[in-house]
Amino acid sequence: MARITIYTTRWCGYCVRAKALLNTKGIAYDEISLDGDQAFRQTLRELTGGWSVPQILIDEEPIGGYTELWRLDKTGALDERLAA
């Protein structure tokens, strides 16, 4: 099974949605909270190439944020990637 990592902040509505989508599907993930990192956007840029939260990685490959996760789910590509 693929490993999912999600970078989040407590105040991010899209983070809540991304985690809810994964939870609804019963998909385990590692959450890394960036609440204490004042330079979290720079940290994200260095780690994922993105600058907003959430940033989601599947097997250490950045896929983007909630919208990209939602699209993968709606097309069935999320299940395919997780099964690979």
Name the DSSP class of 65.
S
By CB neighbour count within 10 A (0-12 exposed, 13-18 middle, 19+ buried), where does 16 fall? Answer: middle
* The two structure tokens encoding residue 27: 């998909």
Distances (CA, A) of 46 to 23, 50, 84: 27, 8, 27
Where in the chain are the domains? 39-72
- Per residue in 51-78, pLDDT tens? 899 999 999 999 999 999 999 999 999 9
pLDDT grade for 47, boundaries at 50, 70 and 90: confident
- The pLDDT, as a whole number, for residue 37 is 84
- Per residue in 13-37, pLDDT tens? 999 999 999 999 999 999 999 998 8
Is pLDDT at 9 greater than 90 in this prediction?
A: yes
